[in-house]
Amino acid sequence: MNDELNFSPNARVVLRKRYLKKNSQGEVIESPEEMLKRVSKAIAKAERNYTSDENKVKEIEKSFFEMMENLEFMPNSPTLMNAGKELGQLSACFVVPVEDSMESIFDAIKSTALIHKTGGGTGFSFSRLRAQRSVVKSTGGVASGPVSFMKVFDSATQAVKQGGTRRGANMGILRVDHPDILEFIKCKENEGDISNFNISIALTDDFMNKALNKEKYDLIDPHNNEVVGSLDAKEVFDLIASFAHKNGEPGIVFIDRMNKGNPTPDLGNIESTNPCGEQPLLPYESCNLGSINLSKMLKKEKEEFTVDWDKLKGITRLATRFLDNVIDVNKYPLSQIGENTRKTRKIGLGIMGWATMLEFLEIPHDSEEAIDLAKKVMKSIRETAQEESISLAEVRGTFPAYKGSIWDKRGIKIRNSTLTTIAPTGTIGIIAGPTSSGIEPNFLLCYFRNVLDGEKLLEIDPAFEYVAKKEGFYSKDLMKRIAQGESVQEMLEIPEKVKRVFKTAMDISSFWHIKMQAAFQEYTDNAVSKTINLANSATIDDVKSAYLLSFKLGCKGITVYRDGSRSIQVLTIDKKDKAKDTEDRSSSALPYPRPRPEVILGTTTKITTGCGNLYVTVNQDDKGNFFEVFTQMGKAGGCAASQLEAVGRLVSLSMRGGIDTKVIVEQLKGIRCPAPSWDKGKKIFSCADAIARVLEKRVMDQKDIVMVDEQANDPEAKEDTPAMNFLTAIKAKKKSKSVVGVCIECGCALRHQEGCLVCDACGYSKC
């Protein structure tokens, strides 16, 4: 029996970290094959609601297993994690309503905590909250406004996410006609603010037309729907573009267009989406997603690849059935969510591996041929999914809210009110890979991934490897050069026809990114998650042009990301403070701590203590010297939190003052408290002792830093230490401004994709 099945080494690492069953000691007690059997069996149970033929149930279960075993389809992460387990929460996307009352606001926070605890992401519209400084008649006080309450939601997410297998992610949306729209546009101006939210502006068709015509538009008080002012639409449009140019936020959604696609308007208007924007949902509604791996939908004929349309249709039918079954067996975090989800039975079948498919077909991503194929592929998926849903409805019945729906008006009896969504596939793409994410072009063609026992594995885009060997220019040295940052477009040994096909995300203009999104949107019921990559040199006018093109071509929303527009700025000192700092030090005869640079990198380690899980962040300067320590305790508050902060400050002061880290470790190690614990087989006597253990490990990793630095330039280097990763991240940041942070799990560089931060090295995703 092959317990590992077809999974790549990196997929197995990701599965062990987050998906496979663990015992109470955190030890993996399930193989990848057992995971797929667990999921297949749990989802196939729904068949018993509609047939008494046990052989048919077993046949469907086997088909589900084989579809996933062959990496042809993968459901969203909560389904892989939770199906067949006691928790049983299988959906990724939720929208929670926020009404204009204190009771509703804190009910929403409670609902959010319960959803995040089970691995779901949440979206909110804050458009119903009255503007800041509005009078509250019941108390005589004034309202705090949407941004203030969004910060409360952000803090709640930060607290809840510490213990989960998936971190809580949120979407915050505000209508452009809300009186607080200007504050909302600017609310993430400083990096790190409201960090657990993506934010988007809901733009109306009326606003877009007035922006084009340079007219004023009305601001509406959500409390009484009265006009309370006006703004110049073009100036607001320009402001949105300028902030998106600065750091990628806010995104925009075309809210009227989303509601034109609302399949059940009688149930209410769509006001928000899930965190990455691809799933518009009604209040207290969820949707379960899954993606077909297009790189597996090919067949080879006479040394050429073609699309296997029959296989694509077969997998589409089976995946549609799978996702409909998920609705029946799902254990929803709130009864109201279960009721509303079953009422509309929305599913979101999407794709991954689009770029990989194009590469095997030798079709450039930025070509009309690719656009035409995108429409043909997505049209086939939607039409086949509709046929299967209609077939399911004959046996299982239509969705309960069918009467009055768009399907009722068309006279089509169908099982699911929506069928297709194109979602981010960062983690499930690794599991089903190597394959490209969603409909994105490849960001890299070769890269190093962290696999077992600290080994770094060179992972090569399968189509590029195939073509390189076919064309005769393949070599391990060439692949390593690409992984270290050399551009394929600048390599003389690679033929021009190959360069034309294998452009990466930053080689493709925003025009083609948007055309591709629009092509898929044409045959997608819900929406499309995609990042529109812009060069660092792109202007605010380029952002505005992207917005206008997406509106013109029929997209439901757009997120832009200008290369290098985000950095890591935990703490900064302004010019006045810097000058004063220099003056104070020059007049002092005593040692003074080194000033903090604007950008600094580090790693965060989770360690179990008697007081709870302690998160210790150790930062290093650009030379690899230890510089500062931050600590956070999941459960801590009051005195415990203040003591941890004090220890962190003093350790940081010692480091910046030149004290040897080994001496700091000696002072902290062995300090005892009344509640010792065990972590990875070692006794942890106290929080101070835990900090010492982390520092001690970092010192060992950091040993002989000059040699490690040399190894970071050596393509044969195998070391996988935080110090090594730190230096690699520094080098990557110098080579590519697309690096936007450091992975909290492996210390390698993060990048921005599909509205989220992802790590190519280990598969971590913030969302």
Taking the C-alpha atoms of residue 79 and residue 194, their distance in angstroms, rounded to an integer, is: 28
Taking the C-alpha atoms of residue 717 and residue 484, their distance in angstroms, rounded to an integer, is: 12
Q: Are strands 557-562 and 601-609 parallel, antiparallel or unpaired?
A: unpaired
Catalytic residue, candidates 278, 285, 359, 628: 278
Cβ 749 vs Cβ 759: under 8 Å: yes
103 among known catalytic residues = no
Taking the C-alpha atoms of residue 96 and residue 51, their distance in angstroms, rounded to an integer, is: 35
The size of the chain, in residues, is 767
Q: Which two tokens stand for residue 521?
A: 């949107």
Residue given tokens 């607290």 in the structure block: 159
Taking the C-alpha atoms of residue 207 and residue 234, their distance in angstroms, rounded to an integer, is: 9
Looking at the DSSP bridge assignments, the partners of residue 124 are 172
327 CA to centre of own chain = 23
- CB burial of residue 21 (10 Å; 0-12, 13-18, 19+): middle
**Distance set, CA 9 to CA 22, 73, 77, 430 (Å):** 19, 19, 19, 10
Catalytic residue, candidates 93, 187, 276, 756: 276
411 CA to centre of own chain = 38
Q: Which two tokens stand for residue 740?
A: 């936007």
Q: CB atoms < 10 A from the CB of 466, how many?
A: 15
Catalytic residue, candidates 10, 274, 325, 533: 274
SS3 492: coil
Looking at the DSSP bridge assignments, the partners of residue 532 are 560
Sign of CA dihedral 703, 704, 706, 707: negative
Write down the H helix ranges in 161-289.
181-186, 205-212, 233-247, 255-260
SS3 96: coil
Give 151's DSSP letter.
H
Q: Which residues contact 672 (CB under 8 A, 6 or more apart)?
A: 685, 686, 689
687 among known catalytic residues = no
Helix (H) or strand (E) holding 115: helix 102-117
- In 572-642, DSSP assigns E strands to 601-609, 612-620, 626-633
User: DSSP letters along 399-436, please?
Assistant: -TT-TTSHHHHHT---S-S--B-B---HHHHHHT-S--
Taking the C-alpha atoms of residue 257 and residue 159, their distance in angstroms, rounded to an integer, is: 35
Q: Which amino acid makes up residue 426?
A: G
Cβ 146 vs Cβ 182: under 8 Å: no
SS3 613: strand
User: DSSP letters along 522-554, please?
Assistant: TT-SS-B--EEEE-TT--HHHHHHHHHHHHHHT
Cβ 667 vs Cβ 654: under 8 Å: no
User: DSSP letters along 680-724, please?
Assistant: TTEEE-SHHHHHHHHHHHHHHHHSSHHHHHHHHT-TT-----HHH
- CB burial of residue 390 (10 Å; 0-12, 13-18, 19+): middle
Angle at 25 between CA 22 and CA 31, to 5 degrees: 25
Helix (H) or strand (E) holding 449: strand 446-450
From 366, 374, 358, select the one nearest 509 (Cα to Cα): 366
274 among known catalytic residues = yes
Cite the active site residues: 274, 276, 278
